[in-house]
């Protein structure tokens, strides 16, 4: 008899849900806004999760959902988890299982129960997976004190290096013009309190943002480095060294498995991904991994055939 | 005829006020908590400023205050300034003049109208002073995107380098033990979600603080470097290079004047101050500079005699 399960991949940008049957066929998907309770607030996160799950279940038209695996970023708080479980109680039979979101990233690239994932999105971390579970993690300590080589880390370095020449520090770099363009600031000759108008306007605009939004400037470093900018190349060298160290920290000779590269930075910058994670499978969609986690937690053996069915049926649903 | 003026030095840690007469004699001082409207809120800041000024005026017992110079950190907002002026209207005749707090730091080290100040406290910046006014400033862009070599910058590097070995990254360093001791964390063998208990506890404690509080860990880098720790020495090398570049950015051959080193990091670490600002006068108290600013803005010529009277009378008042 075929059962149906729910996989959920909820992050700071979007929340996605999938209904998958025990043979690996994905039958319905749903999408909504941020489902990260820490950054979006628990009410907004719960609403987004409920919307995505309802959409997936409705479009699957598959009857009862026998179990669920929830990969929700920023859901460490027990109260938040209880609120999410309560919101899904009418949609899912049994108690949902919470999963590390990095595991969904890992299984979006491979069906192998043992291996590694290096992630650089807004944050950055590396994980060793053993028997389908998180065995070790390095970095992922967040924007303020960690996440070396992440989108936030790159964006902050872009800002620092881009602003420095505006008050006579650092080296001349294309990042200055790219940053001011992105902020919509046109330099002029005025000064306020000893600072150029461009620097005053840029500083005000940057502090008006939530700190994590600095990740939005990460792409500029690749643009500038591609145009031969040495400052940008230096930032990428440092990011690559940090990510390489992060991955090395979870490597062990006992686990030979595949390497998955995930997160928006690595998914969008294949050359950089190849530099920090040579030979890695680049995973662009955490939803396949959420489906695999739902199957694994339900006791379904996810072999290469089932895995291929997951990814191909998901691709078909997403293209509709 | 002798007039009396008010000098105010309000920062994130404390607010201090001084009443100084036109001959340079300081007649009363006052002290209260944070007077930084941005970090403490305008209500608390105004209350602290009023309390410090009232105390200074009362203890001076000198009759009318003819003018005031207010060096208030984080008082860029016009509404905040208006609230502070309104709160002082019964205590000071005429319109108070707002001053850059870095100018109070500068004039706490010298009476010369032209020169430089390098500041590293919670933040970091360098300023060129010409004719008693701010002519150029470098860095001072705040904790998120600037302030290289500041207390915050050092504290964040202490945290990053101290935590790294707890998940297998970075080099072994004394900073790990010093940081965990400071946080009151005792390592054990438990792991949660692939992380050691010490790392989980430290991360939770650090994110529970306001980001600027990372500056509290800055002193640990000097302790570790003093004990021969290479990681700590590397952090200090980078901080020194950054501060040296910040100072160089405001230097010009046209201005020969003295160099003042200010801020808690430089005031408490004379060897480090000497490294980044060789030959500098180290200013430990912004209050003398606030008195000098009050005199200068009232048109009093502050020569070496007047300056000596300011600092010696202030020292006497502070020792009571």
The answer to whether the Cα torsion of A202, A207, A213, A215 is positive or negative is positive
Q: CA-CA distance, B177 to A129, in Å (whole number)? A: 29
Q: What is the mean pLDDT of chain B?
A: 93
**Length of chain A as a residue count:** 320
Pair B277, B247: CB distance under 8 Å: yes
Q: Which residues of B147-186 are buried (b: 16+ CB within 10 A; e: fewer)?
A: bbbbbbbbbbbbbbbbbbbbbbbbeebbbbebbbebbebe
Cross-chain residue pair B169–A144, CB shorter than 8 Å: no
Cβ within 8 Å of residue A38, ≥6 positions away: A73, A74, A75, A76, A77, A80
**Cα–Cα distance, B73 to B47 (Å, whole number):** 15
Query: A141 and B127: CB-CB below 8 Å?
Result: no
Q: What is the pTM of this model?
A: 0.91
How far apart, in whole angstroms, are the C-alpha atoms of residue B49 and residue A182? 40
CB atoms within 10 A of CB A183: 17
- A134:B195 CB<8 A: no
**Tens of pLDDT, residue by residue, chain A (320 residues):** 789 999 999 987 789 999 999 999 999 999 999 888 887 889 999 999 999 999 999 999 888 899 999 999 877 788 899 999 999 998 998 889 999 989 999 999 999 999 999 999 989 999 999 999 999 999 999 999 999 999 999 999 999 999 999 999 999 999 999 999 999 999 887 888 889 999 999 999 999 998 989 999 999 999 999 999 999 999 999 999 999 999 999 999 999 889 999 999 999 999 999 999 999 999 977 899 999 999 999 999 999 999 999 999 999 998 76
| Residue A253 to residue A276: CA distance in whole angstroms | 19
Show Cβ contacts of residue A186 under 8 Å, excluding neighbours closer than 6 positions: A180, A198
Q: What is the pLDDT of residue A63?
A: 82
How high is the pLDDT of residue A320?
A: 60
**Mutation for B interface: A71, A164, A200, A203, most B CBs within 10 A:** A164
Confidence of residue B293 (pLDDT cuts 50, 70, 90): very high
Q: What is the pLDDT of residue B40?
A: 82
Torsion of CA B17, B20, B24, B27, to 10 degrees: -100
Going along chain B from its start, the domains and CATH numbers come out as 1-108+285-320 (3.30.420.40), 111-284 (3.30.420.40)
How far apart are alpha carbons B144 and B141 in whole angstroms? 8
What per-residue confidence (pLDDT) applies to B110?
A: 95
Q: Which residues pair with B137 in a beta bridge?
A: B127
Write out the two tokens for B314: 């202030």
Rounded-to-integer distance, Cα A258 and Cα A211, Å: 34
Q: Which residue of A has its CA nearest to B77?
A: A204
Dump pLDDT digits (tens) for B19-30.
999 999 999 999
Q: Which residue has the higher pLDDT, A23 or B320?
A: A23
SS3 A247: helix
Q: Which residue in this structure is represented by tokens 């013009």? A: A177
Confidence of residue B320 (pLDDT cuts 50, 70, 90): low
A251 close contact with B: CB closer than 8 A:
no
Cβ contact (<8 Å) for A194 and B169? no
CB contact under 8 A, A163 and B169: no
Tell me, what's the pLDDT at A245? Answer: 97
The per-residue pLDDT for B251 is 96
pLDDT of residue A14: 87
Q: What is the mean pLDDT of residues B82-91?
A: 92
For chain B, give the number of residues: 320
Quote the pLDDT of residue A73: 83
Question: What's the confidence (pLDDT) of residue B47?
Answer: 95
| Contact of B204 with B195, CB cutoff 8 Å | no
B75: nearest Cα among B29, B12, B7? B12
Give the tokens for residue B302. Answer: 């502050």
pLDDT tens digits, one per residue of B223-265? 999 999 999 999 999 999 999 999 999 999 999 889 999 999 9
Using pLDDT thresholds of 50, 70 and 90, give the confidence band for residue B37.
confident
pLDDT (tens digit per residue) in B176-194: 999 999 999 998 888 888 8
ipTM (interface predicted TM): 0.88
């Amino acid at each position: 008899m075929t059962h149906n399960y729910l996989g959920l991949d909820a992050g700071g940008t979007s929340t996605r849900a999938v209904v998958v049957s025990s043979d690996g066929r994905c039958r319905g998907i749903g999408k909504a806004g941020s489902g990260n309770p820490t950054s979006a607030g628990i009410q907004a996160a719960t609403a987004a999760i409920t919307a995505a799950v309802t959409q997936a279940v409705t479009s699957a038209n598959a009857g009862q959902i026998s179990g669920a695996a929830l990969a929700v970023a920023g859901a460490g708080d027990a109260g938040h988890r209880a609120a999410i479980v309560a919101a899904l109680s009418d949609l899912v039979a049994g108690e949902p299982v919470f999963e590390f979101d990095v595991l969904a990233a890992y299984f979006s690239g491979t069906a192998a129960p043992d291996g590694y994932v290096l992630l650089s999105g807004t944050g950055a971390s590396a994980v060793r997976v053993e028997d389908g579970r998180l065995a070790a993690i390095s970095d992922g300590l967040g924007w303020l004190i960690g996440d070396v080589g992440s989108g936030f880390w790159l964006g902050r370095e872009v800002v620092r290096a881009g602003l420095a020449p505006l008050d006579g520090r650092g080296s001349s770099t294309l990042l200055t013009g790219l940053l001011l363009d992105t902020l919509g600031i046109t330099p002029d000759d005025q000064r306020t309190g000893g600072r150029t108008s461009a620097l005053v306007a840029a500083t005000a605009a940057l502090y008006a943002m939530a700190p994590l939004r600095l990740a939005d400037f990460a792409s500029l470093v690749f643009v500038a480095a591609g145009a031969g900018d040495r400052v940008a190349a230096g930032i990428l060298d440092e990011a690559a060294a940090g990510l390489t160290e992060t991955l090395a920290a979870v490597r062990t000779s006992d686990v030979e498995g595949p390497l998955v590269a995930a997160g928006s930075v690595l998914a969008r910058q294949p050359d950089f991904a190849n530099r920090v994670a040579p030979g890695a499978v680049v995973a662009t969609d955490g939803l396949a991994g959420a489906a695999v986690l739902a199957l694994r937690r339900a006791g379904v053996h996810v072999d290469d055939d089932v895995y291929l069915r997951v990814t191909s049926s998901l691709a078909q649903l997403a293209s509709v």
